[in-house]
């Protein structure tokens, strides 16, 4: 992959070692934040396309494995000075770098629920004050309320002969950690910062816990966990929203587009406003060797066409991908005659685009109609797709 490859981990706000369920949860929450049905901001649609593309890769185990190898090649070789520009502050020496690595390992193990490994990284004093069972109960209680998705560690400074948690250490390294978490109670993604310390302890570097009694904190998070709705899985809401977005193009799926069209149709009939529906069908031409476009090429071409149309339609118009080779358009406050003119203009722009002509030579068909007096959006769409010569996508 090229160095220009988007950082899909960064787009989904997850760590590169995040478990699959963390990636899934991040995708669901970001979809809720940027789904066009829920967020009408001008850039929300573009952001949703990026989120869909990122999840399509790192949400798939096979594709993630391939992407992760390339990601590591692009990021693992960075020198210290380059890391500084990415968030470090003038790390003083190798031991400070090792302290950073110790804290990074602690957070990575916490994120992946490797509690015992994380516990072993604590100072001797902390492990004497807090046994593993208390540590485990604390971590599990917090985990039930907050799911760690990503973190950024920034070096702050070093202290010599410093007292922390009732013990004096010869060296303590101070870090500021910014974390991105999924709040299980609210379903929101939140960012926060905290101060963390790594001490030179008995000839090794270890993470300072800073607390000798985790009981009150554990109980607090257990009570918060009881506030999480249990009657139904909150992820169902997010999954339903996700299913309304076509992963390849970022446009609405057939289901999502029909739902939007039905709402507009109801509004039109209630207030007597104008409305028409349109569709484009694309019939790819055979290549010189008589072969059709492969699935991957087809998806890229349809994504380009979708983005192209999105730039040339009105903000009130709604685009949907209702078949592998068809796109539907909802035209509020538009007569069928004006809708036909709009489709003809858009078809002309598509046919004149150099990129489409070079990479996606095809015959473009267009049709427009107003739903019948007692007809619905799904029925009208089926008739449109039949007219442009393609089958509906289920």
pLDDT tens, residue by residue, 87-115: 444 445 677 888 888 998 898 888 888 88
Its pTM surpasses 0.85: no
In tens, the pLDDT along 333-342 reads: 888 999 999 9
Cα distances from 131 to residues 102, 203, 211, in angstroms, run 20, 22, 12
- Of 69-73, 119-123, 149-153, 179-183, the range with the highest mean pLDDT is 119-123
pLDDT tier, 231 (very low <50, low <70, confident <90, very high otherwise): very low
Q: Is the pLDDT of residue 84 over 50?
A: no
- Residue 46 CA to its chain's centroid (Å): 12
How distant, in Å, are the alpha carbons of 30, 223, 264, 336, 381 from that of 145? 18, 10, 39, 52, 44
pLDDT of residue 10: 81
Give Cβ neighbours of residue 336 (< 8 Å, ≥ 6 apart). Answer: 276, 368, 369, 370
Rg (CA), the chain: 27
Three-class SS state of 315: coil
Which residue blocks in 210-335 are alpha helix, DSSP H?
A: 215-225, 235-242, 254-271, 295-312
Judged against a pLDDT cut of 60, whether residue 230 lies above it is answered with no
With a CB cutoff of 8 Å and minimum separation 6, the contacts of 322 are 253, 254, 257, 279, 328, 381, 385, 392, 393
Look at residue 101 in the predicted model and tell me its pLDDT: 87
Can you give the pLDDT at residue 242?
Answer: 57
Stronger pLDDT, 304 or 250, i.e. the higher one: 304
pLDDT at res. 348: 92
pLDDT-based confidence at 185, cuts 50/70/90?
Answer: low
Q: Over the stretch 112-170, which tens digit does the pLDDT of each residue have?
A: 888 899 999 999 999 999 999 999 998 888 888 877 777 888 888 888 888 887 888 99
Tell me the pLDDT of the chain averaged across its residues. 79
Q: Which of 216-225, 262-271, 274-283 has the highest mean pLDDT?
A: 274-283
- 335: Cβ contacts below 8 Å, ≥ 6 apart: 274, 276, 370
pLDDT computed for residue 195 by the predictor: 84
Going from the N-terminus, what domains does the chain have, and what CATH number goes with each?
1-77 (1.10.287.110), 79-235 (3.10.450.100), 249-387 (3.30.70.270)
Give me the long-range contacts of 213-220 (CB less than 8 A, separation at least 24).
Answer: 213/130, 214/130, 214/134, 214/135, 214/137, 214/138, 215/134, 217/138, 217/141, 218/134, 218/137, 218/138, 218/141, 219/141
Find all residues with CB under 8 Å of 311, minimum gap 6, and list them. none
Helix (H, G, I), strand (E, B) or coil at 92: coil
* pLDDT surpassing 70 at residue 32: yes
CA of 261: how far to CAs of 114, 268, 317, in Å? 48, 10, 10
pLDDT of residue 80 exceeding 80, the answer is no
pLDDT of residue 213: 81
Residues 6+ apart with CB under 8 A from 183: 145, 146, 189, 190
19, 112 in Cβ contact below 8 A?
yes
Average pLDDT estimate for 230-241: 49
pLDDT of the residue at 2: 35
Please give the pLDDT value at position 190: 67
In which band, very low, low, confident or very high, does the pLDDT at 78 lie, cut at 50, 70 and 90? very low
* Mean of pLDDT values over 291-312: 75
Instruction: Give 391's pLDDT tier (boundaries 50, 70, 90).
Output: low
pLDDT at residue 164 in the model? 83
Q: What is the pLDDT of residue 263?
A: 85
- Model pLDDT, residue 86: 41
pLDDT of amino acid 197? 92
Q: Residue 392 pLDDT more than 60?
A: no
Confidence band of 394 (pLDDT split at 50, 70, 90): very low
């Amino acid at each position: 992959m090229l160095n220009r490859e988007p950082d899909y981990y960064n787009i989904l706000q997850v760590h590169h070692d995040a478990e699959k369920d963390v990636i899934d949860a991040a995708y669901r929450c970001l979809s809720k934040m940027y789904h066009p049905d829920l967020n009408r901001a001008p850039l929300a649609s573009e952001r949703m396309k990026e989120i869909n593309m990122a999840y399509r890769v790192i949400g798939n185990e096979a594709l993630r494995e391939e992407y992760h190898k390339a990601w590591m090649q692009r990021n693992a070789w960075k020198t210290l000075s380059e890391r500084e520009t990415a968030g470090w502050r003038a790390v003083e020496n190798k031991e400070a770098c090792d302290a950073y690595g110790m804290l990074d390992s602690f957070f990575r193990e916490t994120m992946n629920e490797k509690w015992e490994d994380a516990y072993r990284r604590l100072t001797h004093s902390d492990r004497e004050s807090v046994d593993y069972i208390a540590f485990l109960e604390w971590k599990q209680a917090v985990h039930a309320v907050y799911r760690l998705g990503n973190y950024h560690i920034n070096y702050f400074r070093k202290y010599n002969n410093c007292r922390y948690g009732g013990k004096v250490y010869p060296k303590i390294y101070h870090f500021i950690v910014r974390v991105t978490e999924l709040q299980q109670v609210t379903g929101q993604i939140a960012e926060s910062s905290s101060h963390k310390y790594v001490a030179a302890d008995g000839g090794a570097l270890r993470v300072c816990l800073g607390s000798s009694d985790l009981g009150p904190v554990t109980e607090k998070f257990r009570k918060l966990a009881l506030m999480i709705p249990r009657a139904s899985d909150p992820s169902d809401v997010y999954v339903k929203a996700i299913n309304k977005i076509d992963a390849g193009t970022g446009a609405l799926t057939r289901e999502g587009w029909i739902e939007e069209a039905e709402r507009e149709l109801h509004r039109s009939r209630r207030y007597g406003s104008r409305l028409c529906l349109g569709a484009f069908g694309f019939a790819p031409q055979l290549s010189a060797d008589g072969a059709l476009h492969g699935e991957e090429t087809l998806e890229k071409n349809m994504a380009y066409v979708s983005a192209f149309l999105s730039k040339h339609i009105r903000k009130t118009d709604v685009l949907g991908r209702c078949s592998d080779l068809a796109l539907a358009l909802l035209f509020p406050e538009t007569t069928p005659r004006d809708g036909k003119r709009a489709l003809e203009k858009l078809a002309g722009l598509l046919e004149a685009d150099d990129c489409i002509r070079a990479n996606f030579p095809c015959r473009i068909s267009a049709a427009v109609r107003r739903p019948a007096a007692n007809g619905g959006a799904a029925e009208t769409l089926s008739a449109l797709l039949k007219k442009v010569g393609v089958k509906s996508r289920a």
